[in-house]
Amino acid sequence: MPFLKDGSGSPSNSERDFDAFEKLVEDLRTALGSSSGLDSDDVDPMNIQQLMEKYISNSSEWESYALGDTSRAYTRNLIDEGNGKSNLLILVWSPQKGSAIHDHANAHCVMKILKGKLQETLYSWPDQEKIREGQTSPPQVTRQTVYGENQVTYMSDKLGLHRISNPDPDDFAISLHLYTPP
Binding residues for Fe cation: 102, 104, 162
Torsion of CA 125, 129, 132, 136, to 10 degrees: -60
- Nearest residue to 2 (alpha-carbon basis) of 101, 81, 83: 81
The answer to whether residues 114 and 62 touch, using CB atoms and an 8 Å cutoff, is: yes
The answer to whether residues 90 and 165 touch, using CB atoms and an 8 Å cutoff, is: no
Q: Which residues are annotated as a binding site?
A: 102, 104, 162
Nearest-5° Cα angle at 124, 123 to 127: 140
